[in-house]
Structure 1
């Protein structure tokens, strides 16, 4: 699948990490699930993933963006720590880092560095589901109507 946004697939994993970027992606909701039918300690983030930044056209001043609602899932997440605030609005990601394990356990440390927050956790990897086709918009975030509300669906649009 290839579309005008440049999106090549709708499900990404930690194997794709070097090609991905979360800068300025907005987190709308965060959930932690434990279920008998699923692996323990699943951290889910509902976010607007910026698929592509589009340079301003000639005589234009501002970037436009291809943005899609996405669910980022860390299975078997543990050792979760973080710091919020002081918040003056939304949770926007500055960068997501994969760090070498600080001990003998093989799971890497994941560091979600945000503007005014940070979240660190251990997990073997992640999956990210792009839930709807990307939309070309003039801002880095979708409205609740454009994104279909909040959600943690682990199903890609295609």
Structure 2
């Protein structure tokens, strides 16, 4: 039996980091908003990349066919601090942004930071950062689709606070 902040969904904790990368998956997670913000220190401007997404905590296989999968989904904020070398492409946007896979690639040069590649069905984002933090903002909801409505997810948000 799973113990943690949300036993029904199997979610073991509310805040995840790049140390949990092997245990995480973003396939089919909907991205509702992306932000690239500055955070200045005394000597240089540091960038942060934030994604407001619906994180699929668990896919639930139907008990009988031809029924469909259901999903435990929670709104989340994925944050890459001290990001650099950011590039990407968008389009077409008719169906929204949906993640296919997140890749952590070895540094292609002498810098220690890995290359993060967020490969989407309708977009592509690459950036360098030491790691990430993902905050699950609300408890997961069991829904018949992979995306939450704006009401179910309490609107758009880049809040960096986990529900548990």
Gaps of 5+ in 2: none
Question: RMSD across aligned C-alpha pairs, in angstroms?
Answer: 1.3
Q: For residue 61 of structure 1, report the CA deviation from its aligned partner.
A: 1.4
Whether 1:77 aligns to 2:83 is yes
* Aligned pair partner of 1:152 in 155, 158, 161: 158
The answer for the alignment partner of 2:21 in structure 1 is 17
The answer for the alignment partner of 1:142 in structure 2 is 148
The answer for the alignment partner of 2:71 in structure 1 is 65
Q: For residue 32 of structure 1, report the CA deviation from its aligned partner.
A: 1.2
Whether 1:53 aligns to 2:59 is yes
Structure 2 CA distance for aligned equivalents of residues 76 and 126 of structure 1: 10
Deviations 1:81-114 (A, max 9, x none): 1011123221000000000000000000000000
The answer for the alignment partner of 1:124 in structure 2 is 130
* Aligned pair partner of 2:39 in 1, 17, 35: 35
**TM-score (normalizing by structure 2):** 0.92
Runs of 4+ in 1 over 6 A off after TM superposition: none
Gaps of 5+ in 1: none
Q: For residue 60 of structure 1, report the CA deviation from its aligned partner.
A: 5.0
Structure 1 CA distance for aligned equivalents of residues 7 and 66 of structure 2: 23
Structure 2 CA distance for aligned equivalents of residues 142 and 157 of structure 1: 17
**TM-score (normalizing by structure 1):** 0.96
